[in-house]
Amino acid sequence: MKLSSHFLVLALFLAGIVTSCSEFIERSIEDKKVFLNAPADSAESGKYLQSFWWEPVDDALSYRLQIVSPSFNQAQQLILDSVIKDNKFSFTLEPGEYQWRVRGENGSSQTFYTTRTFFIYETDLSKQQVQLKGPPNGVITNQRNFITSWYSMYSAAGYLLQVDSTAGNFTDEPSLFVNTIVANTEYAVTATSDKTYSWRVKAKNDTSESKWSAVYRFTFDGTAPGKVVLGSPANGSGVSKPVTLQWNVLADAKKYLLYILKSDSTAYNSSYPLTLTTNSYSFNGGETNEKILWKVKAVDAAGNIGADSEVRNFTVQ
């Protein structure tokens, strides 16, 4: 009975080792296949903006998507060769014959490619939609200058760009921040005040115009967050390790910079300042009777850095 219990413990121990190792061993995906959903093989479409969609592959960390014209066996043009984390991707193309293929990838292996053919035929602009490039939708920054850009569209003679800095619904055209025809596929916009700017684009030629693109938004924020108020320990306190440093939460702060300093106001070590997303930190350094200084700054989502808090000190007991 005692021997059996030893074997049971050993078996559980070995099972734990196997389980732990499997968490660190990357599984091979060489024998797996990517199943393509859309566009289907030999599909025909009058839409220039195409959405590519495939089934996720277990243990794949990314996917390589390639598009050529007219085929991989007789490629005349490589249109796209990109590594993508998701299993969906949109891209604007001209009328023509294309093949696309996808393979799954991880750090040590890859699947075979799965390939499909599709055709895009020419239609008027009214059936098309412009695809925006950047800045990324929802970006927040403290830089005033933005380059709005989008993909070119077949048969477009120009593009109408609108930027709304008020309600974002583009209903009041005379008050739009930008409302202009652009000959190429980018336009510089300079933010004049802290706010969110909405923008959209449509293609135009002499006989028709496309649908509006999706609406993207970017935010300019040039205002620094407020000054952090330190909480505990109280200034001049004698404390035991570990020391919990706390400060108030600022509504407009995305993170905090914690400075821990020696008594001569130089950095305690090369680790500081620390970037933290919480409003507390457990400090376990310092020698007995050593005086430590500390302060905190707030950083907002746009990257603006607030003023220094007061500088406090404590002595390690």
141 and 78, same structural domain? Answer: no
Domain CATH number, residue 154? 2.60.40.10
Report yes or no on 28 lying in a domain.
no
Residue 26 lies in a domain: no
Residue ranges in the chain modelled with pLDDT below 70: 1-24
For the chain, how many structural domains are there in total?
3
Could you tell me if residue 23 is inside a domain? no
Q: Which domain holds residue 249?
A: 230-316
Task: Tell whether 2 is covered by a domain.
Answer: no
Give the residue from 100, 123, 146 where a domain finishes: 123
Tokens for 307? 């003023």
C-alpha neighbours within 13 Å on the C-beta side of residue 28: 3
C-alpha dist (Å) from residue 102 to 39, 96, 112, 223: 12, 20, 8, 45
Domain co-membership, 118 together with 157: no
Tokens of residue 131, six digits: 């695809």
Q: Are residues 134 and 87 in the same domain?
A: no
- Indicate if 276 and 251 belong to the same structural domain: yes
Q: Is 238 exposed, middle or buried (0-12, 13-18, 19+ CB in 10 A)?
A: exposed
Classify residue 16: in a domain, yes or no. Answer: no
User: Does residue 30 fall inside a structural domain?
Assistant: no
243, 274: one domain: yes
Both 251 and 205 in a single domain?
Answer: no
Final residue belonging to a domain, choices 193, 220, 247: 220
Question: Does residue 156 sit within a domain?
Answer: yes
Instruction: Indicate whether 43 and 87 sit together in one domain.
Output: yes
Which of 185, 220, 255 is the last residue in one of the domains?
220
Q: Based on the fold, state whether residues 119 and 148 are members of the same structural domain.
A: no
Please check whether residues 209 and 132 belong to one and the same domain: yes
**Per-residue confidence (pLDDT) for residue 167, from 0 to 100:** 84
Residues 245 and 197 in one domain: no
Confirm whether 210 is domain-assigned: yes
